[in-house]
């Protein structure tokens, strides 16, 4: 499974793996990890004095420092909400004496957007233009085991033409800082840098598949690797038990520090959004009989494709529907949201029956781990956004870096089904089209197991016979993706939608179409939640009636913080676009969307002396997919519906309490799909 890795040598899925130790770990484990989240010293540097005054060596002046908790952004601090510039962080850490002969690295899960890192006054890393991606710094030569060591980080969120997102061209917050966690990692010199597993179901043989394992090594030029062997254990995870399904020695091929092996497996369960079956793999690196390293991750067996006008999830045609969430909208933590805050947003998304979403920018591993375990399909995107972003050699090179970092650290997440290479650029511009084609090919080279797409807000422009309006850049991707705002930003009305979609379908024959955004954008567009409900219902009805539309994503889940916002209720501007407010309180439109996204319909209800007979039908519009294992429950009885195909009708018989009862329909994952008073 050959791939290109510029950054993969330093990858490590800390959120999924390893024990996190206290600041005084024992040195018995071959891989030790210390979380450096918590107390740091911080100072804003509005005068740009930090580097010239060498704060990286002498420390931040005590008169300027404020104690903060990392993960952190300064844009939630009083007086700094609109600050674009540099911020400095400092912390000392005790390094165990037992780490004397180990390779020691820092892992930063995100520093927005530029980061300079020093240890004991020595610069150990620069990470520029990629503020939402993980990066690593080898600090082995700078560290002093057995002593206190100073770590200093300069973060910079100043508008920059050498950054993605470009300048101020992005419609979300500009939160600067160490916005995700930091870890200290100690390994032997002989160690695993990254572990990627592609779980591939055998679509012709249910319950079977292959695990294609790719191990990238640290220090791949070392001659010691020639005698290294890898042992692996694969266990069930996120299932009813944690039974071992395979154990043994991986007998693959080592080539230039990369080891590959394809393992055939039986009696496995595939992954999908209603059956999020995962597997845990632990790989032990052994050299001359000595255990040098242990590395653990999770993965799932899942394929994604597209054929005709349908997504193919594990070979099954599906029409997907969901809602987009704009993270970083916590008023107290901004983009440094806590795990509890992230999960509250994700619960809200799943509870509205969303199984499909997009992220305009790269997210924390904890987000994808949750999506893996609870069942949400994701397109994660390079944060190119807006007409002001015109691609060039610099931005394309940064885009490649983003793709390398995304695919390196997030490959094992079955919830990620597509990489996005941009959103709402000038997609009829020949230069942009050229670079997007290059990025599409590069993304496919790095990861051939997923879809790659570009999201357009210009497909509404008809193609011209004279070539003045060339094919939209979205045609570069595996699926056409269209942000449909006819009744708002495009200055028309919903009567325009149906004929426009038919025209797009004719102009791009053979390309599937996804409505990647639609919704009511307040306060620019008036009407409030009542208008949101009326238009939402009509738009879903239009999309559902067109067989060539494979999916739709409502925008959006929440009112959100954005430096481009028009609502100034709070100290940071926001946009009022959500079916829930900025505090995540659902609006009436939330319940309407929940019913629309329910994948089945109740055709009839017959009640007689405590017996109730339902006839249910699988939806054929949006969404539509095979329903398996859904639970129908009253106070008196529960029934499991084994399978319901789109368009198929089946009876469900239950007992109920005639005094007062409610029929509840549950997904096998425990999320409420629908409820009905009886």
pLDDT in tens, 577-609: 999 999 999 999 999 999 999 999 999 999 999
pLDDT confidence tier of residue 425, bands split at 50, 70 and 90: very high
Is 60 exceeded by the pLDDT of residue 383?
yes
CB 327 within 8 A of CB 342: yes
Mean pLDDT of 557-561: 97
Q: Can you give the pLDDT at residue 257?
A: 80
Q: Can you give the pLDDT at residue 256?
A: 77
Q: At CA 675, angle to CA 669 and CA 676, rounded to 5?
A: 155
3 state DSSP class of 611: strand
For 328, phi and psi rounded to 5 degrees?
A: 80, 20
pLDDT confidence tier of residue 222, bands split at 50, 70 and 90: low
For 47, phi and psi rounded to 5 degrees?
A: -90, 0
Distance of alpha carbon 293 from alpha carbon 4, whole angstroms: 23
Rounded percentage of the chain residues whose pLDDT exceeds 70: 95
Q: At CA 132, angle to CA 580 and CA 391, rounded to 5?
A: 100
pLDDT confidence tier of residue 28, bands split at 50, 70 and 90: low
Q: Can you give the pLDDT at residue 251?
A: 87
Q: Can you give the pLDDT at residue 224?
A: 67
CB 216 within 8 A of CB 5: yes
CB 33 within 8 A of CB 184: yes
Nearest to 622 by CA among 545, 555, 556: 545
Angular region, 109: left φ>0, alpha ψ -120 to 50, beta rest: alpha
Nearest to 295 by CA among 420, 191, 406: 191
3 state DSSP class of 396: helix
Say how many C-beta atoms besides its own lie within 10 A of residue 450's C-beta.
22
Q: Can you give the pLDDT at residue 227?
A: 76
**Residue bearing tokens 């399978």:** 643
pLDDT confidence tier of residue 253, bands split at 50, 70 and 90: confident
Q: Can you give the pLDDT at residue 589?
A: 98
**Residue bearing tokens 């903060």:** 68
pTM of the model: 0.94
Mean pLDDT of 364-379: 98
Q: Can you give the pLDDT at residue 25?
A: 38
pLDDT confidence tier of residue 301, bands split at 50, 70 and 90: very high
Task: Tell me the average pLDDT of the chain.
Answer: 93
Name which of 28-32, 105-109, 474-478, 634-638 the model is least confident about: 28-32
Domains of the chain: 31-187 (2.60.120.260), 192-299 (2.60.40.10), 319-596 (3.20.20.80), 600-677 (2.60.40)
Is 70 exceeded by the pLDDT of residue 184?
yes
Is 70 exceeded by the pLDDT of residue 16?
no
CB 566 within 8 A of CB 523: yes
| DSSP calls for 529-577 | HHHHHHHHHHHHHHHHT-TTEEEEEEE-SB-EE-TT-SB-SSSS-EEB-
Mean pLDDT of 98-103: 92
Q: Compute the Cα dihedral for 563, 567, 572, 575 and give only its sign.
A: negative
Q: Can you give the pLDDT at residue 241?
A: 96
> Which of 593-624 are b and which e, b meaning 16 or more Cβ less than 10 Å from the residue's Cβ?
bbebbbbbeeeeeeeeeeebebebbbbebbbb
CB 245 within 8 A of CB 213: no
Is 70 exceeded by the pLDDT of residue 205?
yes
pLDDT confidence tier of residue 203, bands split at 50, 70 and 90: very high
Is 70 exceeded by the pLDDT of residue 15?
no
Rounded percentage of the chain residues whose pLDDT exceeds 90: 89
Mean pLDDT of 441-462: 96
Say how many C-beta atoms besides its own lie within 10 A of residue 577's C-beta.
27
Question: Where is 654: in which H helix or E strand?
Answer: strand 649-655
Mean pLDDT of 308-313: 95
Q: Can you give the pLDDT at residue 8?
A: 33
Q: Can you give the pLDDT at residue 252?
A: 81
Q: Can you give the pLDDT at residue 23?
A: 37
Q: Mind listing the pLDDT tens digit for each residue in 458-500?
A: 999 888 777 678 899 999 999 999 999 999 999 999 999 999 9
Size of the chain, expressed as the number of residues it contains:
678
Is 50 exceeded by the pLDDT of residue 22?
no
> Which of 411-442 are b and which e, b meaning 16 or more Cβ less than 10 Å from the residue's Cβ?
bbbbbbbbbbbbbbbbbbbeebbebbbbbbeb
Mean pLDDT of 140-148: 94
- Alpha helix (H) ranges present in 92-203? none
CB 671 within 8 A of CB 346: no
Name which of 166-180, 253-267, 620-634 the model is least confident about: 253-267
Is 60 exceeded by the pLDDT of residue 124?
yes
Q: Mind listing the pLDDT tens digit for each residue in 344-371?
A: 999 999 999 999 999 999 999 999 999 9
| DSSP calls for 319-345 | BEEEEE-----BTTTBTT--HHHHHHH
Distance of alpha carbon 138 from alpha carbon 155, whole angstroms: 18
CB 557 within 8 A of CB 597: no
Mean pLDDT of 273-284: 98
């Amino acid at each position: 499974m050959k791939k290109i890795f510029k950054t993969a040598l330093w990858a490590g899925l800390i959120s999924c793996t390893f024990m996190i130790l206290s600041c005084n770990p024992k040195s018995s484990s071959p891989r030790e990890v210390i979380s450096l989240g918590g107390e740091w010293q911080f100072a804003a540097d509005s005068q740009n004095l930090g580097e010239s005054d060498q704060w990286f060596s002498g420390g931040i002046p005590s008169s300027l420092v404020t104690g903060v908790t990392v993960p952190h952004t300064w844009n939630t601090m009083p007086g700094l909400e609109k600050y674009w510039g540099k911020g400095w962080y400092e912390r000392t850490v005790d390094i165990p004496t037992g780490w004397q002969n180990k390779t020691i690295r820092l892992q930063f899960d995100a520093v927005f957007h530029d980061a300079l890192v020093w240890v004991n006054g020595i610069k150990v890393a620069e990470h520029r233009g990629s503020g939402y991606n993980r990066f690593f710094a080898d600090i082995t030569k700078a560290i002093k085991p057995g002593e206190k060591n100073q770590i200093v980080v300069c973060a910079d969120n100043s508008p920059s033409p050498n950054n993605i997102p470009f300048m101020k061209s992005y419609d979300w917050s500009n939160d600067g800082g160490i916005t995700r966690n930091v870890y200290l990692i100690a390994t032997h010199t002989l160690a695993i840098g990254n572990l990627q597993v592609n779980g591939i179901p055998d679509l012709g043989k249910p319950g079977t598949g292959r695990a294609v394992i790719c191990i990238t090594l640290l220090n791949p030029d070392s001659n010691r690797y020639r005698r290294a062997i890898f042992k692996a254990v694969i266990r069930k995870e996120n299932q009813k038990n944690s039974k071992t399904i395979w154990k043994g020695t991986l007998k693959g091929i080592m080539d230039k520090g990369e080891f590959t092996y394809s393992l055939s497996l039986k009696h496995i369960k595939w992954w999908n959004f209603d059956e999020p079956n995962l597997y845990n793999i632990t790989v032990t690196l052994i050299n001359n009989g000595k255990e040098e390293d242990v590395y653990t991750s999770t993965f799932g067996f899942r394929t994604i494709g597209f054929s005709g006008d349908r997504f193919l999830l594990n070979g099954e045609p599906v029409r997907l529907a969901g809602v987009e969430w704009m993270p970083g909208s916590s008023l107290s933590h901004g983009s440094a949201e806590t795990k509890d805050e992230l999960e509250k947003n994700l619960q809200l998304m799943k509870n509205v029956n969303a199984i499909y979403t997009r992220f305009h920018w790269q997210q924390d591993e904890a987000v994808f781990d949750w999506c893996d375990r609870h069942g949400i399909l994701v397109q994660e995107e390079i944060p190119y956004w807006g007409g002001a972003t015109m691609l060039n050699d610099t931005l394309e090179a940064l885009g490649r870096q983003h793709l390398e970092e995304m695919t390196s650290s997030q490959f094992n997440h079955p919830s990620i089904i597509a990489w996005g290479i941009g959103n709402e650029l000038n997609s009829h511009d020949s230069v942009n089209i050229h670079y997007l084609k290059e990025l599409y090919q590069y993304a496919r080279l790095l990861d051939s197991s997923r879809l790659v797409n570009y999201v357009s807000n210009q497909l509404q422009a008809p193609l011209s016979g004279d070539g003045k309006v060339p094919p939209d850049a979205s045609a570069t991707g595996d699926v056409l993706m269209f942000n449909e705002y006819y009744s708002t930003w495009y200055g028309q009305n919903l009567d325009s939608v149906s004929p426009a979609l038919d025209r797009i379908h004719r102009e791009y024959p053979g390309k599937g179409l996804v409505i990647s955004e639609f919704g009511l954008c307040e306060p620019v567009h008036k009407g409030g939640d009542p208008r949101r409900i009326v238009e939402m219902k009509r738009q879903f009805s239009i999309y559902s009636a067109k067989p060539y539309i494979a999916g739709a994503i409502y925008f959006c889940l929440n009112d959100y913080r954005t430096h481009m916002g028009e609502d100034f209720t709070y100290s940071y501007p926001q946009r009022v676009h959500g079916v829930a407010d900025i505090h995540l309180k659902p609006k009436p439109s939330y319940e309407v969307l929940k019913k629309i996204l329910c994948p089945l319909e109740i055709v009839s209800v017959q009640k007689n002396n405590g017996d109730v007979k339902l006839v249910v039908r699988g939806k054929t519009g949006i969404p539509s997919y095979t329903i398996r294992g859904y639970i129908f429950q009253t106070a008196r009885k529960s029934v499991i519906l084994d399978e319901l195909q789109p368009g198929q009708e089946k009876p469900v018989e239950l007992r109920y309490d005639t005094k007062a009862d409610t029929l509840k329909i549950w997904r096998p994952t425990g999320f409420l799909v629908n409820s009905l008073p009886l």
